[in-house]
Structure 1
Amino acid sequence: MDEKDTTRLEAFSDGVFAVAITLLVLDIKLPHADVTGKLLDNSELWHAIFEQWPTLLAFVSSFFTIGIMWLNHHRIFKHIKHLDTPLMFLNMLLLMIIVFIPVPTSLLSEYIIYPDQKTAVLLYSGTFFAMALCFNVLWRYASHKGRLLGKDADMVGVERISRQYLFGPLVYIVALGIAWINTPASLVFNLLLAIFFALPDTPVRIGKKEPANQNLYKDG
């Protein structure tokens, strides 16, 4: 396996995250003057803004989810120091899901007020499940036996990340179940999950000698 710098992959990934998170704002519409051209008064303006609560709720949930996934992407690439073709493919698959998120977000903002219409929220939660699953596969492929990690990677931090991500896909399945019962509750649950995955891991300690019992991913 050839050793490669991850800088270009991280820079490209940052660009995709930035595009995806920016697209979310396009569904928020500014209140305009009425049909006669008269500006809205204060009460009418507040009412027009409040009417966009489904769009704003979906925006906040997706914005924080994408932002926190970017944070986690940055976190794992503190440990990942080498590239190979499968890793680049898995990263591309993750980015495809990330940049797709504005689509179910837009759909959900239209259908959230119709509790009997479950397709939009199921697509929304299903997209997050696919994202969590892909993120797990990417991390576990890179970290398995230290395959693509730096030689001085902090194995305690690596193990903590692995434990934190272990139940990601499972809890997003729970979000899918909640979506059948209550759409706003599913949105809030997705937001809470994103916050959970933003919790810090053990700080990276490069250049420090690892105790023998922490050398979890070394062969032999």
Structure 2
Amino acid sequence: MHKGRLEAFSDGVLAIIITIMVLEIKVPHGQDFAALRPMLPVFLSYVLSFIYVGIYWNNHHMMLTGTSKISGRTLWANLHLLFWLSLIPFSTGWVGENHFAQVPMAAYGFVLLMSAIAYFILQNSIIKSEGPNSVLAYAIGRDLKGKATAILYCLGIGASFWNAWAGGFFYVLVAFIWLVPDQRIERALHQQKKQAQERIAD
């Protein structure tokens, strides 16, 4: 399969996920700003989840930019990632409707953790398909950023059972860390292009 078809399908699923989330925000019946106050938790949870989906969309695109082969294993790994991402609207709605209660916040963190693990599996599936000398393997390296993310999610899940806002702190922290699109692959592609140009010049 050409990677363009996989990317187009993934983009469509992510667009649907965002659509479902925004449809969960119900229009208030009141006519003043006071009517919006009860909706604040729903809106805040939507904003955080929107940022997360945007982060996955950005990095998924960059990862496939440095990919030339799509194996059957990669297809299933991508579907596995989309499965966990498709649960974000449910966990977001649960958190918002229950005003950041402890159990919903922990469940939200679990979905984020599983999404991160699924992304890691997809990433490694592509590296195995393309080999250890591939652009993606060179760009990712030891992936300390990805491993640190998983640890922060686990801390957030645990903290949520003690204090929901403490758990939320870790989730926001991870979003902040990944808010700027991952430049590792772009730098690796630029380096590869530069080396190719130098070989042609020689």
TM-score (norm 2): 0.84
Conserved 8 A contact 2:24-2:93: yes
Unaligned runs of 5+ in 1: 34-39, 211-220
Q: Name the CA distance, whole Å, in 2 between partners of 1:173 and 1:66.
A: 19
The one-letter code matched in structure 2 to 1:191 is V
Q: Give per-residue Cα distances to partners, 1:151-209, cap 9 Å, x unaligned.
A: 7737642327x332122222211110121122233234213202312343232224343
Task: Name the residue aligned to 1:216.
Answer: none
Task: Name the residue aligned to 2:39.
Answer: 52
Change (3 A) 1:150 1:78: farther
1:69-148 alignment, distance < 5 Å = 69-112=56-99, 115=101, 118-144=102-128, 147-148=129-130
- RMSD, matched Cα: 2.3
The one-letter code matched in structure 2 to 1:187 is G
The residue matched to 2:68 in structure 1 has which SS? coil
2:195 corresponds to which of 209, 217, 220:
209
Matched, 1:27 2:24: yes
Conserved 8 A contact 1:87-1:142: yes
Task: Name the residue aligned to 2:13.
Answer: 16
The one-letter code matched in structure 2 to 1:28 is I
Task: Name the residue aligned to 2:199.
Answer: none
Conserved 8 A contact 2:106-2:167: no
Conserved 8 A contact 2:117-2:150: yes
Unaligned runs of 5+ in 2: 197-202
Task: Name the residue aligned to 1:218.
Answer: none
Conserved 8 A contact 1:112-1:183: no
The one-letter code matched in structure 2 to 1:159 is G
Please say which structure displays the higher CA radius of gyration: 1
Moved over 6 A (4+): 149-152
The one-letter code matched in structure 2 to 1:184 is W
Q: Name the CA distance, whole Å, in 1 between partners of 2:127 and 2:99.
A: 39
> What percent of counterpart residues are identical?
26
Task: Name the residue aligned to 2:200.
Answer: none
> How many Å apart are 1:58 and its aligned residue?
0.8
Matched, 1:68 2:55: yes
Q: Name the CA distance, whole Å, in 2 between partners of 1:59 and 1:149.
A: 38
The residue matched to 1:31 in structure 2 has which SS? coil
Q: Give per-residue Cα distances to partners, 1:30-81, cap 9 Å, x unaligned.
A: 2225xxxxxx3xxxx1111122111011111111111111111112112221
Q: Give per-residue Cα distances to partners, 1:117-147, cap 9 Å, x unaligned.
A: x331221111001001111111122224xx3
Task: Name the residue aligned to 1:213.
Answer: none
Corresponding residue pairs, total: 191
Change (3 A) 1:167 1:6: same
